[in-house]
Structure 1
Amino acid sequence: MTSSCYCLRNHFLISMPHLDDLNFTQTVTYICDHSEYGAMGLVVNRPVGLTLIELCDHLNLPCTSPDNQQKAVYSGGPLHSDRGYVLHQSDNPLAWALSHLIADDIYLSTSIDAIEAAAEGHFSQDYLVALGCASWGPNQLEEEMIDNVWLSCPANSDILFGTPAEERLQAAASVLGVDLGLLSAHSGHA
């Protein structure tokens, strides 16, 4: 019997160069939950080419914050692409109906009022809006880790919120001292 460690919550998953799944090639995924039931996360380095004001127009929501209107919306993963997720730091996380604490300073909100709050400039801290999510069944992520599909490292809010999207993958790898450009795109076992 093997013992599983469900310790990837609040970690980045960094795709290995040989990963050929179009949904996850060259991605960094923030793990929001990891338990015996599986894992759930958001890809945080793939803007969908949609701004917050465009998303709000589609949802018939006001977008009154000039600072936030051009904020990028991300493709959080291939599942539930019709659902919005707001990853944020917050002074008052209970202000939104469905907010879940992930780490000491990071919350995931899944209610429409959190998107509306972002569009109206009510977040005093950093945030990221994503459409869709990634998820793994029981032990699936652990198997992918064994198969060398992912690297993982503790997440930090500077990379999550302060680093440009196109630099997040290498920034996360740098936490481990890894230069992804030097890794082979081919996998193998000795």
Structure 2
Amino acid sequence: MSEKMKIEPKAGSLLISEPFLQDENFVRSVVLVCEHNENGSFGLVLNKLSILKLDELIDNILIPDFEVYVGGPVEQNTLHFIYYGKKLSETSIELANGLWWGGNFEDIVENISLGVLEKESVRFFIGYSGWAADQLNNEIQENTWIICDEVNSKNIFSSSPDELWKIILKNMGGEYQILANYPIDPRLN
């Protein structure tokens, strides 16, 4: 196991699924860790677009036709969001430099509708990814996840969902660049 794989995840880390992971919820996924402590972990899958739009989930919203991502398989009746830039809600939590999680939903919608927050700098998610105490650490020890602590917020918001997994691995360099090009099903190679 490489040194980077031994890093403990923390709020703001990215979990990149290893290329052989076959769990349909996490194949080629990039998960933003929002919380990691002795009670468990909470994260959002950044690169799994849902078929729904925000105005299909919330009536009379000021920002129609807004994409929604699947944050994970847990509680898909909940809505979460992240955004990039300056803090726009008193209750938002900073995960990385200028990367914010949560806050007052109405504040964020208003800032988007007023043009203060660009549409390209926010993501909404239904559901989330959750792990019980020590579950995520055990999965990391089993090499299920690669941890990236050098979060480039620009990549999160500007990369297509289909390319994000590959882009982050390539940017990590070294042995990870090789993994980035690994086929989903090596038998078809």
Which bin holds the TM-score, normalised by the shorter protein?
0.7 to 0.9
**SS state of the match for residue 11, structure 2?**
coil
In the alignment, does 2:170 pair up with 1:174? yes
What does residue 160 of structure 2 align with?
164
Contact residue 89 and residue 104 of structure 2 kept, 8 A:
no
Task: Tell me how large the CA RMSD over aligned residues is.
Answer: 2.5
Distance in structure 2 (CA, Å) of the matches to 1:83 and 1:49: 16
Distance in structure 1 (CA, Å) of the matches to 2:107 and 2:172: 33
**SS state of the match for residue 39, structure 1?**
strand
Most deviating of 7-16 and 106-115: 106-115
Shift of the alpha carbon at 1:18?
1.8
Q: Which runs of 5+ in 2 are unaligned?
A: 1-5
The one-letter amino acid of 1:91's match is K
Spell out, residue by residue over 1:8-62, the C-alpha distance to the aligned partner (whole angstroms, 9 max, x if none): 32111111122121111111111111112221110010100223xxx22431132
Alignment TM-score, normalising by the size of structure 1: 0.79
What does residue 113 of structure 1 align with?
106
Alignment TM-score, normalising by the size of structure 2: 0.79
Distance 1:82-1:123 versus aligned 2 partners, 3 A rule:
farther
Distance in structure 1 (CA, Å) of the matches to 2:132 and 2:102: 22
Shift of the alpha carbon at 1:111?
4.2
What does residue 59 of structure 1 align with?
58
What does residue 27 of structure 1 align with?
29
Distance 1:145-1:135 versus aligned 2 partners, 3 A rule:
same
Q: Which runs of 5+ in 1 are unaligned?
A: none
Distance 1:120-1:57 versus aligned 2 partners, 3 A rule:
farther
**SS state of the match for residue 170, structure 1?**
helix
